[in-house]
Amino acid sequence: MRVFIAGIDGYLGWPLAIYLRANGHEVAGADLLLRREWVAEVGSLSALPIATREERLRAFHETFGTELDFRLGDLTDYDFVKGFFADFQPEAVVHLGQMPSAPYSMIDQTHCVWTQQNNVINNLNLLWAIKEVAPAAHLVKLGTMGEYGTPNVDIPEGFFEVEFRGRKDRLPFPRQAGSWYHQSKVHDSHNTHFASKIWGIRATDIMQGVVFGTQIVEMGDDPRLHSRLDFDQCFGTAINRFCCQAVIGHPLTLFGLGKQKRGFLPLADSMACLRLAVENPPAPGEFRVFNQFENAYSISELAYIVRGVAADIGLEVEIRHYDNPRTEMEEHYYQPDRRRLLDLGYQPTRDIKSVIKRMMLDLLEHRDRIEAHANVLIPDIRWDGRRKRSEIIG
Ligand code: USQ
């Protein structure tokens, strides 16, 4: 299948290009390399060194024997998107090309507005380009479990049956996002659903949990094929940050009580699920929603798992509570469904400890990079708009 990847240089986009190509698909993609700039803007860098675009292209060619059409371009530029679609004629479009950080979107007015403009407009451009150039193409849109928030009831996959004043309907489940970034994804979900309804676009909205890990087997030993791994307060996510903290002997940073629950999944599971979505497209006009995660964990449960794995490889790790820079529930009910991907054949990784161990061993080789930027481990971007470093509270 011809698969276009929007955001092909990112943490997920680059491994997905390798994974899909290794599994027989033709891949092309676009990126403006903004993730590299944002991480530098917040004073950090990828814990694992990453190759330049040119080096990645060379490695891809040497490994697979085909050129990768990876163009530098802005997805908010409609002419660029439309022109690329006209050349490539995608059968599937995987949209990973957005600003993905909740804290980054909360920095100030500029970052909030930019996040929403960028994310909402580039998703609209992809929808329009599908409509005008490749109407049979299937949009696999990366959304987030965070769109649902943490309601005090079970979370279905996108829609639920509801009875109100004696009448019944199947309606979109309420979205109650927790940051301007997550809000942008809610807008995308609404826009994608609407486009699907009016133009007959096939669409899968992926409500993905927090991804962790450094490797997929298809990357092999070539470091030019490896992906980035961030640990700063904006682009580093919970388990990845904890592993980076563990390898330099920094306390693991639990925000608040640490009883917040989220869905998590290894990088390899994310790739496998995206492939399942691509290879099993919905019917024209169908808008379907998949909840995508391996399991739900509380943040402190994960910190203890990371501490246990660290101990196995001889690292002593402390767990500390920091005052929470975010406005979020720290103790809550959390029971999301995740049936649809299992029905398509998703086999969740059972042994997340070995994924965490692999990541720590990879990171140990580059601990100096993390140590040199350890100041980005303590958050100072707060949801109330103040800028203040979190302090240890327990
Ligand atoms: N947290 C800590 N300590 C840390 C980092 C995070 O306790 O050092 C807590 C946060 O307070 C939050 C939870 O861990 O309750 C998750 O935070 P995160 O930074 O790992 O993830 P989040 O901000 O939710 O965003 C990430 C990705 C985003 C994706 C989302 C999936 O950056 O792109 O959409 O995970 S989900 O969380 O399901 O919405």
> Which atom of ligand 1 is least distant from the CA of 326?
11
Name residue 139's beta-bridge partners: 93, 203
> Considering only CA atoms, which of 300, 325, 334 is closest in space to residue 150?
334
**Within a domain: residue 384?**
no
Quote the ligand 1 centre to 262 CA distance (angstroms): 8
237-279 confidence digits (pLDDT tens): 999 999 999 999 999 999 999 999 999 999 999 999 999 999 9
The CA distance from 341 to 138, in Å, is 17
> Considering only CA atoms, which of 35, 20, 15 is closest in space to residue 75?
35
**Within a domain: residue 21?**
yes
Quote the ligand 1 centre to 303 CA distance (angstroms): 13
**Within a domain: residue 390?**
no
Q: Which residue among 232, 255, 318 is best mutated to probe the pocket of ligand 1, counting the most ligand atoms within 8 A of its Cβ?
A: 255
Quote the ligand 1 centre to 237 CA distance (angstroms): 5
Phi, psi angles (nearest 5°) of residue 176: -135, 75
CATH number of the domain encompassing residue 150: 3.40.50.720
Active site annotation includes 150: no
Atom 34, ligand 1: residue with shortest CA distance:
144
What is each CA distance from 154 to 21, 158, 189, 278, 283, in whole angstroms?
Answer: 37, 12, 20, 27, 27
**Which residue out of 11, 104, 181, 346 is catalytically annotated?**
181
Q: How many CA atoms lie within 13 A of 384 on its CB side?
A: 7
368-387 confidence digits (pLDDT tens): 999 999 999 999 999 999 99
Cβ neighbours of 386 (radius 10 Å): 9
Any atom of ligand 1 within 6 Å of the Cβ of 254: yes
> Which atom of ligand 1 is least distant from the CA of 100?
33
User: Which residue type, as a one-letter code, is found at position 77?
Assistant: D
| pTM more than 0.95 | yes
Quote the ligand 1 centre to 210 CA distance (angstroms): 6
Task: For residue 313, give the DSSP letter.
Answer: T
Which range marks the domain in which residue 235 is found?
2-377
Atom 15, ligand 1: residue with shortest CA distance:
260
> Considering only CA atoms, which of 107, 112, 119 is closest in space to residue 43?
107
Quote the ligand 1 centre to 261 CA distance (angstroms): 10
Any atom of ligand 1 within 6 Å of the Cβ of 326: yes
Residues 6+ apart with CB under 8 A from 265: 208, 209, 210, 211, 212, 273, 292, 293, 294, 348, 349
**Which residue out of 76, 104, 185, 237 is catalytically annotated?**
185
Active site annotation includes 144: yes
The CA distance from 226 to 365, in Å, is 14
- Helix H or strand E segment including 172: strand 167-172
Q: pLDDT value at position 391?
A: 98
**Within a domain: residue 387?**
no
Any atom of ligand 1 within 6 Å of the Cβ of 214: no
**Within a domain: residue 318?**
yes
Mean pLDDT of 127-137: 98
208-245 confidence digits (pLDDT tens): 999 999 999 999 999 999 999 999 999 999 999 999 99
> Which atom of ligand 1 is least distant from the CA of 324?
11
User: Exposure pattern of 136-149 as b/e (b: 16+ CB <10 Å)?
Assistant: ebbbbbbbbbbbbb
> Which atom of ligand 1 is least distant from the CA of 143?
34
Mean pLDDT of 94-104: 98
32-51 confidence digits (pLDDT tens): 999 999 999 999 999 999 99
**Within a domain: residue 394?**
no
How many domains is the chain partitioned into structurally?
Answer: 1
**Within a domain: residue 77?**
yes
**Within a domain: residue 269?**
yes
**Which residue out of 76, 115, 144, 192 is catalytically annotated?**
144
Quote the ligand 1 centre to 212 CA distance (angstroms): 11
Any atom of ligand 1 within 6 Å of the Cβ of 10: no
308-326 confidence digits (pLDDT tens): 999 999 999 999 999 999 9
> Which atom of ligand 1 is least distant from the CA of 241?
8
